[in-house]
Amino acid sequence: MLTTPSLKPLGEYLDVIRRERGPEYAIPNFDPCDGGSDARVLFLLEAPGPKAVVSSFVSRNNPDPTARNLCELLSGAGIARRDTLIWNIVPWYVGDGQGRIRPVNPADIRAALPYLDGLLKRLPNLMRIVLVGLKAQSAAKSIRALTPVPFFATPHPSGQVFNVRPDKRAEAEDTVREIALLLNAPESD
């Protein structure tokens, strides 16, 4: 599935990033069940977690609370997978190899922004960007300099956030419902 027409250019781009960053950077693949280069909404999280590294995919189907919550949010809002692409503001794993991940820092984001720019240029149907969590949202000004595509901000769907702050889950649900309405609105002439 990684060689389908909508995924192949993104896979080739990941190969470029992997060559530039080197083998010590674990950069998971895009989920082949999502929209690939045909996606209309890009969900940008913080960085791949350990489960994404193990599965080798950034996917809402990974066996972790963030993926499960994101999957529930998107399916609950009726957003079709073919309309989405999930990636991270820092596309490589920032953990220690022992399953412990650290938060991304401003230097990580600065190093990753050129790769986000390259990704955005490969998404011709992009209508919205969703900055998922505070780390992705911290790059809003830099992202605005890369693209005129409008964006939303939503809380991170981690278990830590959603279990402790039910209001954040409700806020995320409201945001993805709004996105679903935009995606499903009839086009005007």
Three-state SS annotation for 5-47? CCCHHHHHHHHHHHHHHCCCCCCCEECCCCCHHHCCEEEEECC
Return the amino acid letter for 110.
R
Phi-psi map region of 65: left, alpha, beta (phi>0 left; psi -120 to 50 alpha): alpha
Tokens of 110: 């600065």
Whether this prediction's pTM lies above 0.75 is answered by yes
Question: Which domains are assigned to the chain?
Answer: 8-184 (3.40.470.10)
pLDDT tens-place values along the chain, 189 residues long: 778 888 999 999 999 999 999 999 999 999 999 999 999 999 999 999 989 988 999 999 999 999 999 999 999 999 999 999 999 999 999 987 676 788 899 999 999 999 999 999 999 999 999 999 999 999 999 999 999 999 999 999 998 899 899 999 999 999 999 999 999 887 644
Pairing relation of β-strands 57-58 and 29-30?
parallel
Distance of alpha carbon 111 from alpha carbon 100, whole angstroms = 21
Distance of alpha carbon 30 from alpha carbon 40, whole angstroms = 15
Report yes or no: 35 and 6 within 8 Å, Cβ to Cβ: yes
Phi and psi of 127, rounded to 5°? Answer: -110, -30
